[in-house]
Amino acid sequence: MPFVQISLRSGKPESYKQALFDGVYRALRETFNVPEDDQFMTITEHEAASFRYGASYLGIVRSDDLVFIQITANNTRTLEQKKALFARIAALLGEQPGIRPEDVFVNLVEVAKENWSFGNGLAQYA
């Protein structure tokens, strides 16, 4: 059950944000075998003064269309699955809403399965 937090500059239309949700969810389904309807995602928008990034860190030239995508997930995926996820997210977001791969920044945070509660005060995976 991944939890996805997406951060971007303010001003994008609703359709752009929905395309972000759809692309990330599709990539998770295809590469991480995430079940249908396992969608827990947020988008946070930031004004220019509250959104900072290295414009050329590691030789990658980024623009103000940069999106930060942080995914918290169980620590059960292989290195190959992680690489596939990163590539698939960049490819799908390139198709819709049209983000350059240089502007897709993904951070995967892995946690033990017992660190989740999906509601009712229960640790469903523990």
Query: Does residue 84 belong to any structural domain of this protein?
Result: yes
Query: Does residue 73 belong to any structural domain of this protein?
Result: yes
**For a pLDDT cut of 90, what percent of the chain falls above it?**
97
pLDDT (tens digit per residue) in 18-74: 999 999 999 999 999 999 999 999 999 999 999 999 999 999 999 999 999 999 999
Number of domains, the chain: 1
Annotated active-site residue 101? The verdict is: no
Residue of 2, 13, 35, 97 marked catalytic: 2
Considering only CA atoms, which of 5, 15, 73 is closest in space to residue 45? Answer: 5
Query: Does residue 62 belong to any structural domain of this protein?
Result: yes
CATH number of the CATH domain containing 12: 3.30.429.10
Query: Does residue 26 belong to any structural domain of this protein?
Result: yes
SS3 of residue 33 by DSSP: coil
Domain residues for 52? 3-115
Backbone angles phi, psi at 110, to 5 degrees: -100, 135
